Amino acid sequence: MRENRVRTLWADDRPVVNGWLAIANSYSAEVMAHEDFDSLTIDMQHGMVDFQAAIAMFQALSTRNCTPLARVAWNDPALIMKSLDAGAYGIICPMVNTREECERFVGACRYAPVGYRSFGPARGILYGGADYAAEANDTVVTLAMIETAEAMANLDAIMSVNGLDGIYVGPSDLAISLGHPPSPEPVAPNVLEAIDEILAAAARNGVKAGIHCPNGASVREKFQRGFRFATVTNDARLMAMAAKAEIAAARA
């Protein structure tokens, strides 16, 4: 089966630089794939991406060796399984608040006997290879999003679920849940303490910790703190940031 670069890097305790695709377009996805991201996540929750657009984007990502991931819209087994069948090599699942929700998420990503994923990897087998059925359970990665006060109360219960590979902090939703405005780089003391607590719980339970960041400098700082998966904002924001900088340079 084709290599999952996320797993390869994690096996060497190396961090994963993840890109984020919010624009529903295969060309922009292909452009991002030709940069040096370790993985690229198609955002089907808050991005402008439906399932049909995601298929073309997965095909565009396969032109390079970055690992294709998907952030699904919800903890919905049907969408999780379809995203994997379409070629996602990992799923980021939002709003995982309890052990039971995490078990439902992980189970949808694994074939029996360890899960309940239905077999039919229409494009997954084209991308992954003829041995997909035998290797998928050990290749696909699962990341549960920790982004609420309820999840904070259940960290060890969530992170000890068998088959969970990592967690992913949603800073803005976490800030809202803890009584603050949304922020991609929280500054409120209790939110920062919560992120530290999540990171410690991940280490305690042997899962990788990931987080969404507003820029590359933030990603580097998170890696230095122990995170092993971090996202450099998203394609739409990168385009807007570059445009703003070049317009300012032109008008200077």
Given the structure tokens 């390079």, which residue do they identify? 64
Of the residues 34, 46, 180, 212, only one is catalytic, namely 46
The CATH code that applies to domain 5-251 is: 3.20.20.60
Two tokens at 242?
Answer: 């570059």
Q: Does 212 qualify as catalytic in the annotation?
A: no
Give the DSSP letter of residue 70. Answer: E
pLDDT string in tens for the chain (252-residue length): 999 999 999 999 999 999 999 999 999 999 999 999 999 999 999 999 999 999 999 999 999 999 999 999 999 999 999 999 999 999 999 999 999 999 999 999 999 999 999 999 999 999 999 999 999 999 999 999 999 999 999 999 999 999 999 999 999 999 999 999 999 999 999 999 999 999 999 999 999 999 999 999 999 999 999 999 999 999 999 999 999 999 999 999
DSSP strand pairing (208-213 vs 90-93): unpaired
Q: For residues 6 and 89, what is the distance between their CA atoms, to the nearest angstrom?
A: 9
Its pTM stands at 0.98
Residue partners of 41: CB distance under 8 A and separation at least 6 = 18, 19, 20, 21, 69, 70, 71, 92, 231
Of the CA atoms within 13 Å of residue 179, those in its CB half-sphere come to: 4
Residue partners of 160: CB distance under 8 A and separation at least 6 = 99, 205
Domain ranges (residues) in the chain: 5-251
